[in-house]
Each structure stands twice: as C-alpha cells, then as structure tokens.
Structure 1
Amino acid sequence: MTDRPIVLFDGVCNLCNGFVNFLLDHDSEGRLRFAALQSAAGQELLARHGLRDIDSVVLVEGGRAYTKSAAAIRIAEHLGWPYRVARVARLLPTDVRDWLYDRIAANRYDWFGKREGCRVPDEDVSDRFLS
C-alpha cells in the first residue's frame, strides 16, 4: 500500500473526522496517509494485522499496528512540536491510558454525532486517502 504511516479511522464518526481534519492541517510534511476503517484498504490493513472488531483509530506503521492510546500518542509524535509532548502520556500505565481512550470512544457518537456515510476527501487532499 504505502511505506508511510497510515491512520485508520471510523469514517462515519464526527470526532474521528475532526481528528483527521486536524491531522491534515498540522501534518506539514504530508507524511500521514488515511483510510476509513470501512473502506477496502482499511479492512485489508486490519486483516493483515489480525485486528477484529476495531471501530476507532489505528496507526499502521513499519509493519506494525498501534491501537487506542498508543496510536494516538504515536500519531502526535509525527506532528512534531508541540504535539510531540504527548509522548509524556507513556509515563501512565497503558491500562489507565486505554481506559480513558475507551471511555471517549464508547461515547463519541453521543457526544459528537455520526455521519450517514463515510467521509469523501476534498480534491486537494484526496491523494493522501486510500480507498
């Protein structure tokens, strides 16, 4: 697919789409690629990494898949300063970080809403999306 990091996201989640917009705006080098979890590319990457029943952000990088808080921290590191400071969250036990991540993920549709269909990327960033 690509040797660049790929962010898999829930294509119908407003919070996830807002996160993708944030990444597009702040990834000045354009390193990150994107695919909706619901897309063929997203499903292929999930299967390749043995991930099932995933419905929130995943980062695929260097033959490895990061999930939950590990994915969020690793993605922030790709953005550089000041977002890279998110790595201090690794000082917290993974169980604590993932518990917080899971609380947000479980309530994201209630808090932020849900789209009828997956995101269609704008023409100016469509080359960064896998389908």
Structure 2
Amino acid sequence: MPAPVAPDTIFFDGVCNLCHGFVQFIIRHDPAGRYRFAALQSDAGRALLASHAIAASASIDPESVLLLSQGRLYSHSDAVLRIARGLGGVWRLAAVGQLLPRAFRDALYRFVARNRYRWFGRQESCLLPTPELQARFL
C-alpha cells in the first residue's frame, strides 16, 4: 500500500489583503481540501520549509506565493498557475498561462506583488481561520 501523499501547502504573505483574498478564493473552490495553508511569517510555515531543506532566507519572501507540492517548491506565476490547475473544473484553463514565457509571467506577477499593499492594503496581523478551517492552516 503506497504511503499517503501529504496535501499541497500554499505559503502566503499573512498580512496582505490580496493574499487573504486569494486564500479565501482557494478555500471556496477546494471543497475536497487538497490545499493547506501557512503564512510565510509563521513559525509553522518556516519550520515546514526548513524541514524540506529550503533556506529560510530564500523562502521568506513575502513578495511571492509559494506552493510546496510533493516535495517540490514552486513560486511566483508557476505557483499560481499550478494552484489554479489543481482546483480543477474551469480553473484548469489557467494552464494556458504556461504558454507565455516565464520571464513575462513573473514580471507581471512581481509588478502586482510590489504594488499589492498600496492597491489592496494590509493587515496588522496574520489571518485567523475560523474553527471549521483551522485544520487546513499550519
């Protein structure tokens, strides 16, 4: 019998309103609970990245959403496109974005990331999940 596969983990900027909205979007479109979440600023998030031999200085970049899937780390546009594809249904169409050159996709991603606090604001503290969602957050 194969070992159970750990759910994919999405690391996000815990004080970013855009990131909070992204996490809420994923929760609404992932009723099976394929994804779990960790704020980049959290001890649990840092520990999980460290346990996969990912240097803290490289991983704690709140400018990027990170996806840890089957032991492999994805960042920037690759992470977002893989997450969307993993949601299934119409969201699988996001895979079309892979046809664009990564340099272009990541430049657009970084532009939004650099301006996200100005455009969407920020929280004083990390997102606190409801009791029903607590198990999906590290």
Q: Does 1:41 align with 2:48?
A: no
Unaligned runs of 5+ in 1: none
Deviations 1:38-83, CA, capped at 9 Å, x for gaps? 1112112333323245112100011110000000000001100100
Say if 1:116 and 1:15 are closer, same or farther in 2 by CA, change over 3 A: same
2:112 equivalent in structure 1? 104
Correspondences of 1:75-114 after superposition (within 5 Å): 75-114=83-122
1:74 equivalent in structure 2? 82
Q: Does 1:121 align with 2:124?
A: no
Q: Distance in 1 between matches of 2:48 and 2:65?
A: 13
Q: Distance in 2 between matches of 1:67 and 1:44?
A: 18
Q: RMSD of the alignment, in Å?
A: 1.2
Contact 1:59/1:71 (CA < 8 Å) preserved in 2?
Answer: yes
1:15 equivalent in structure 2? 18
Identity %: 50
Deviating 4+ runs (over 4 angstroms): none
Say if 1:6 and 1:53 are closer, same or farther in 2 by CA, change over 3 A: closer
Give the residue type in structure 1 aligned to 2:46: Q
Determine helix, strand or coil for the equivalent of 1:75: helix
Q: Distance in 2 between matches of 1:102 and 1:70?
A: 12
Q: Distance in 1 between matches of 2:35 and 2:49?
A: 17
